[in-house]
Amino acid sequence: MTPLQPRPPDIAQAGAISGAILAALVGADPLDIRSRSHWVKFVDYSASHSAHWKATKNNRLLIQTLGARHVKLLYVTGGNHFSWGGASWAILSPPANRYTEDFQAANSSVVYVLRVNGLEFLFTGDIGPPVTREVASRWKAKRLGRATVFLATHHGSASGSTKDILDAIDPKWAVLSTGPNTYKHPSPAAIARLEAAGASIWCTAVNGTVTARVSAKGSLSWHTSRRPEPWWSATQHRKTGVCVGR
């Protein structure tokens, strides 16, 4: 099986898609962007994230690095579509002219579905329950079907990965992008919802960098930098390792 060329999308702890046009700005390492700059064409984020992202030293360094590499910043809204390298992206949220205040930065997260050779990957950023309900409604209205992979909302926070969205997308796999933190992510409630939805779960605290690769024929394979089996197996109904105390 030959992977997509150029480099197929990765689902990593940063929540970014490496080697793709589109990147979800949820904590990407500027050094990673710097070392892979020849793969990054432009970065997509929402308007209210501009001030929000410049609020921390690491994020300011990221913005500076992107600028130094002449990476175009593209502000998107729900309904936008992109394609590149055999993959396509559909932006589901935020709607135009909504969630534009700094305090609404979480709900202005770019929510998008990535389609690669018949498989669908859903990324929801840090959206809260009201936006999650809107996204779930759009998913069902567009009859998008089952999500092969779901990047758990907001690192597995208690208010994320709600039953609304899980019922709509019926994920086969979920990825918890998390590590030691003071916010108690991932929450037992979110984990329980993901398990009840029937998803097998990768946790970056256990598995390290988690990479999903899609072959030209639409087969999905997983690669990790540490433990090779998912933290929670939906088929075997067991956990392997400890995901931030869980």
The CATH code of the domain that includes 213 is 3.60.15.10
Instruction: Give the span between the Cα atoms of 175 and 231, in whole angstroms.
Output: 10
pLDDT at 54 over 90: no
Mean pLDDT of the chain: 80
Plot region of 118 (φ>0 → left; ψ -120 to 50 → alpha; else → beta): left
Residue 177 in any domain: the answer is yes
CA neighbor of 9 nearest in space, from 120, 91, 125, 162 = 120
pLDDT of residue 112: 93
Number of domains within the chain: 1
Residue 202 in any domain: the answer is yes
Q: Is 49 helix (H, G, I), strand (E, B) or coil?
A: helix
Give CA torsion, residues 214, 206, 188, 177, to 10 deg: -50
Q: What is the mean pLDDT of residues 130-148?
A: 96
pLDDT of residue 27: 35
Give CA torsion, residues 99, 102, 103, 109, to 10 deg: 50
Contact 48, 107 (CB under 8 A): no
**Given pLDDT bands bounded at 50, 70 and 90, which one contains residue 33?**
very low
Residue 244 in any domain: the answer is no
pLDDT tens digits, one per residue of 82-121 = 888 789 999 999 998 898 877 888 898 889 999 999 999 9
Distance of CA 43 to the CA centre of its chain: 14
Contact 160, 132 (CB under 8 A): yes
* Residue 178, domain extent: 87-239
